[in-house]
């Protein structure tokens, strides 16, 4: 459990994810933790919260997620843009991403995959349905615990536009 | 087909959608067109492009999508924020949203659902898999045609943070 983070209500986690921020997915397989960057996911239910995420079978994290059925979805802000891209451009097959990019692995509370301490929110998840994995690399997850930094929102999340271009979260409006 | 719009490459459509903009989904069932606002979707493949979208069975559009297996995913910008929210807060069961909110229905090229003329991009889709509909209200779509306004990107898309709060797309950075 992360001492510097506070718990965030499970049934509000869609508010952190439905705007489409780049996320960093952590797994832990046979004691080896890894990180991948990702934008292809969606909330599919809010209470209890469920997500659908796509992790290609080409990714090193695919095997870890499929075997352990656990991951953490960590949400970085623009301060971590460069490290997030580095995580996306390298493979856990070759590098220890926590060590190489100077990121802190904190213990999660309900899964073995670690939280990334530098990310402002961390969403602990368990895989509950793998029926769409073979055909679409699509995993259905249930969110089991959410942590957030005790700071004011909104956060400057980053949103992938393709290639090396990212949109940084702009002004908040009420409509 | 929309005369003021130009075609956009199918295998680049993930660049329009993966940053998580609010979208307006149009359907046409028995000659009746409808619009719903939505944030719960993700790209699941880029070439050929496929999407996973969640439309609750409580929504009026659910039945139209399930029967016709066709829709258009229209991407509004902040100029349409108020109309987009109005589409989200009303039901096609009670109102003709095109008429009520002054939106223009343009004919699509490969599906019967209309394009919303005022949206800067329009993604024509066909449902290709309904195996996850009963359990999760999750439809798998294939993108069959994409239209875009011939103007410079990036666009000021809106991203739902929950309730009445939306983040407006901010600066673009290269990382």
Provide the greatest CA pair distance for chain B.
48
What pLDDT, in 10s, does the model give residues B3-27? Answer: 689 999 999 999 999 999 999 999 9
The mean pLDDT value for B155-173 works out to 97
Q: Is B29 in contact with B67 (CB distance < 8 Å)? A: yes
Pick the closest to residue B37 from A52, A75, A18 (CA basis). Answer: A18
Residue A14 falls within a domain, yes or no? yes
Residue B175 falls within a domain, yes or no? no
Residue B1 falls within a domain, yes or no? no
Chain A residue with minimum CA distance to B89 = A175
Q: Is B95 on the interface with A (CB under 8 A)?
A: no
Q: Is A140 on the interface with B (CB under 8 A)?
A: yes
Q: Is A130 on the interface with B (CB under 8 A)?
A: no
Residue A164, classed as helix, strand or coil, is: coil
Q: Is B45 on the interface with A (CB under 8 A)?
A: yes
Q: Is A66 in contact with A130 (CB distance < 8 Å)? A: yes
CB contact under 8 A, B170 and A171: yes
Residue A125 falls within a domain, yes or no? yes
Residue A49: which H helix or E strand, with range?
A: strand A49-54
Alpha-carbon distance B3 to nearest alpha carbon in chain A (angstroms): 26
Q: Is A44 on the interface with B (CB under 8 A)?
A: yes
Residues of chain A with pLDDT below 50 are none
Residue A58 falls within a domain, yes or no? yes
Q: Which pLDDT belongs to residue B23?
A: 98
CB < 8 Å to B14, chain A: 40, 162
CB contact under 8 A, B164 and A154: no
Residue A64: which H helix or E strand, with range?
A: helix A60-68
Q: What is the predicted ipTM?
A: 0.95
CA distance B81 to A38: 27
The mean pLDDT value for B137-162 works out to 93
Structurally, how many domains does chain A consist of?
1
The mean pLDDT value for B137-160 works out to 93
The yes-or-no verdict on residue B1 having pLDDT over 70 is no
Q: Is A122 in contact with A72 (CB distance < 8 Å)? A: yes
CB contact under 8 A, A162 and B18: yes
Pull the structure tokens for residue A5: 């983070």
Residue A62 falls within a domain, yes or no? yes
DSSP state of A10: G
Q: Which pLDDT belongs to residue A151?
A: 78
User: Strand A70-75 relative to strand A23-29: parallel, antiparallel, unpaired?
Assistant: antiparallel
CA quadruple B26, B27, B30, B32: dihedral, nearest 10: -20
Distance of CA A98 to the CA centre of its chain: 14
Residue B41: domain span = 6-168
Residue A174 falls within a domain, yes or no? no
The average confidence (pLDDT) of chain B is 95
Q: Which pLDDT belongs to residue B4?
A: 81
The mean pLDDT value for B80-98 works out to 96
The mean pLDDT value for B109-135 works out to 97
Q: Is B57 on the interface with A (CB under 8 A)?
A: no
Q: Which pLDDT belongs to residue B3?
A: 61
Query: What is the CATH number for B102?
Result: 2.30.110.10
CA distance A19 to A170: 12
Q: Which pLDDT belongs to residue A2?
A: 55
Residue A175 falls within a domain, yes or no? no
Evaluate if pTM is beyond 0.90. yes
């Amino acid at each position: 459990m992360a001492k510097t983070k506070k718990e965030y209500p499970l049934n509000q986690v869609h508010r952190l994810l439905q705007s489409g921020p780049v996320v960093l997915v952590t797994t832990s397989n046979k004691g080896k933790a890894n990180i991948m960057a990702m934008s292809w996911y969606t909330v599919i239910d809010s209470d209890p919260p469920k997500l659908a995420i796509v992790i290609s079978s080409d990714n090193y994290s695919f095997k870890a997620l499929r075997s352990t059925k656990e991951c953490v979805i960590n949400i970085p802000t623009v301060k971590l843009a460069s490290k997030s891209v580095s995580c996306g451009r390298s493979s856990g097959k070759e590098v220890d991403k926590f060590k190489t990019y100077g990121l802190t692995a904190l213990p999660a509370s309900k899964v073995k995959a670690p939280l990334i301490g530098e990310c402002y929110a961390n969403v602990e998840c368990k895989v509950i349905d793998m029926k769409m994995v073979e055909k679409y690399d699509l995993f259905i997850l249930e969110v089991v615990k959410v942590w957030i930094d005790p700071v004011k929102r909104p956060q400057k999340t980053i949103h992938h536009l393709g290639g090396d271009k990212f949109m940084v979260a702009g002004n908040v409006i009420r409509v």
